[in-house]
Structure 1
Amino acid sequence: MKFLTPAAIIAASLAVGATAATAQTTKLRIQNHQSPESTSGRLIAEFVENVSAMSGGEIDIEMFYSSAVVKSAETFDAAASGILDCDMTNGSYQTGKNPAFQFVADTMGGYDTPLQYQAWIAFGGGMEQINELYTPFGMTFVGAHVGGQESLASTRPIAGPADLEGFKFRSPPGMESEIFASMGASPVVMDFTEIFTALETKIIDGADASSLAVNVGLGIYDIAKHTTFPGFHSMSSDHLACNTAVWEAMPEAHRAIITAAEENLAYKLMMLTLVENGEALAALPEQGVTIYDWAPADRAQFRAAAQQAWGEWATKTPETAAIVESHKDFITRIGLGD
């Protein structure tokens, strides 16, 4: 069953109000790094359908899954340069441009739920902070979507911090690699789309890919028979960011429709991840997967390492310092801080 948020309904009404005389068409090429079968991938397909329906066919999106056009880390630049129009991957790939991108993608040890992170974007100044970062690169941040805390997957036991010693695992670029390295692990930065093959060929022992449900969709647990749940280490958010010239050339109604469809995607991803994580949690033990729920003391050890990394990263650039301070202020504002 498909349903739309109030914002989507408003956007749809804007589209209905457009007359044939003023109608414009918008064609977009967008790349994401999710597989079509995954939780996120299926909702991205629905996003495309919703945009088309709300615009009466005026907006035509050609969506590329599994980084089919360029590598995941190259998507942002491909959109900025006009090879693509929009990027639906992850800001963490751009930490080489500015470390502040880390805190758009994943605060690591910051928020407990995706709703808290989305509240920062909508009501904590996050939207403005992010666009101050994206604008110099010719990109506009439209929105973000994240299902929930991620689960580490491994071919060997990962019952606690002691098991991280020598643990060779796929990590996204950025702060996560440093945090886990400080705890004895051996992070390997690689493209999201390369995880399954790297596990299959034993290049890595495990992976930080995504949520329990998405990991199932990627086939990771066909190989990796150990995983953590509930997640604690990462809640990585994918974004929708568009070439600024392309975005600003669209009719206002089209921008409203796309924004509303992205908000609907984010809302449904939180709910569907909750449901499918629960289903996966029940099914995985029957498939021979061992699930580890780290003790509070073990989680605290990771959080301490993450908080130290926050402080170190905040000194890297003025933009990173500003966005870290914004997160800290909002965490205090919502009563989440210690």
Structure 2
Amino acid sequence: MLNKLSRTLHVGVAAAAAMLFASAASAETTLRIQTHYGPETLSGKNAAMFVEDVQVMSGGDIKIEMFYSSSVVKSVETFDAASSGILDCDMTGGAYQTGKNAAFQFVGDIMGGYDTPYQQLSWLLLGGGMAEAQKLYNKYDMQLIGWWVVGQEALSSTKPIAGIDALKDWKFRSPPGMETKIFEKLGAKPVVMDFTEVFTALQTGIIDGADASILANNTGMGLYDIAKHATHPGFHSMPSDHLACNKAKWEALPEKDRRIMEVAMEKLALRQALGGDKANNEAAAKLKTSGVTIYDWSADDRRAFHAAAQSTWDEFASTDEAKALVASHKSYLKQLGLLIE
């Protein structure tokens, strides 16, 4: 009887162990994520840090294949590739999707609103922004996981760009969306093109300048080998790069894995903001010694730009989702004393 009981217990333990092993194996997930940043840039290095953090904290339950420099599809196509299952997650930015819904402008690049990454992140995490933005992403079968905001971008130019008057007839690369309307109001001639085409367009003289990224990333891309003029500190654009995942894929993850990715995104956001500020100041100091002229626009020129930008929000908010996001931003900016009325 004792031997029979022992054999029964042994079989039961073995079966339980097999079930636990099968359960653990089934919990392993591979996520295919694309970013538009190259691995050599500050943002690319921080994306790699995110990958390592998630894989280590999950004990290998989450494996990430990161595709840099939009190597699978064009930057603007990343969102749809994730939504349709070609990829699992999009690590570009919402501003690329403004053609789908104007509301993506106000989660991608608010323009002329917040002064620092911390203010912008606080709208998402403390100001009710996540709940409002999630409605938009869920409409397209995607889940917004978080933002990583590197800071105010710099304008790069082959011509002097000392103030707002220099924008007249300035032909520059612009991302799609509201930015084109704002700069057209100020006399510039924006040309929409993919992020990866900027260097060649500057090199061949198709454009006079570019709104590409922050000063440090522009340096990493080699833009200042060609463009010898730049704005710093930036003031016009502060994209919120996002991590957005296929909603079904996200909901299939165990709660612990979803929490790991959310926490890793908040670490990424902090490191991105801190690293961007440090790298931009270092890049500015180096560029000044290498023949690049850095322009710090006056308070009046900055305010004129912000006024033009904020007056364009309502014009651009053509959908219910966009109107709701603009109202949310205005309410929060008013609390921070940043709304120009």
Q: Which category describes the TM-score, using the shorter chain as reference length?
A: over 0.9
Shift of 1:286: 1.3
Corresponding residue for residue 9 of structure 2: none
Corresponding residue for residue 336 of structure 1: 338
Corresponding residue for residue 285 of structure 1: 288
Amino acid at match of 1:173: P
Matched, 1:319 2:304: no
Corresponding residue for residue 12 of structure 1: none
Correspondence for 1:129 among 132, 137, 155: 132
Corresponding residue for residue 80 of structure 1: 83
Matched, 1:294 2:297: yes
Shift of 1:147: 1.1
Secondary structure in structure 2 of the residue aligned to 1:134: helix
2:21, 2:235 → 1: CA distance? 51
Could you tell me the percent identity over the aligned residues? 60
Shift of 1:198: 1.0
- Larger Rg computed on CA atoms: 2
1:265, 1:197 → 2: CA distance? 30
Correspondence for 1:67 among 70, 77, 80: 70
Corresponding residue for residue 32 of structure 2: 29
2:126, 2:138 → 1: CA distance? 20
Instruction: List per-residue Cα deviations over 1:12-68 (Å, max 9, x = no partner).
Output: xxxxxxx75642101010000001111100000111111111011111100000100
Residues 253-272 of structure 1 aligned to structure 2 (within 5 Å): 253-272=256-275
Matched, 1:251 2:287: no
Secondary structure in structure 1 of the residue aligned to 2:235: coil
Shift of 1:263: 1.0
Correspondence for 1:44 among 40, 43, 47: 47
Matched, 1:175 2:193: no
Corresponding residue for residue 94 of structure 1: 97
Instruction: List per-residue Cα deviations over 1:94-135 (Å, max 9, x = no partner).
Output: 001110100001111111111011111111111111110011
Shift of 1:333: 2.2
Correspondence for 2:141 among 113, 138, 141: 138
Shift of 1:139: 0.5
Correspondence for 2:223 among 208, 220, 224: 220
Secondary structure in structure 2 of the residue aligned to 1:259: helix
In structure 1, runs of 5+ residues without a counterpart are 1-18
Corresponding residue for residue 229 of structure 1: 232
Correspondence for 1:192 among 176, 180, 195: 195
Secondary structure in structure 1 of the residue aligned to 2:159: coil
RMSD over aligned CA atoms reads: 1.1
Matched, 1:306 2:309: yes
Shift of 1:336: 3.1
2:206, 2:338 → 1: CA distance? 39
Instruction: List per-residue Cα deviations over 1:220-277 (Å, max 9, x = no partner).
Output: 1111110001111011111000000000001111111111111111110011111111
Amino acid at match of 1:247: W
Amino acid at match of 2:333: I
Cα 1:333–1:154 shift into 2, 3 Å: same
Cα 1:162–1:336 shift into 2, 3 Å: closer
Amino acid at match of 2:245: C
Shift of 1:79: 0.3
Corresponding residue for residue 206 of structure 1: 209
Correspondence for 1:240 among 238, 243, 246: 243
Give the TM-score normalised by structure 1.
Answer: 0.92
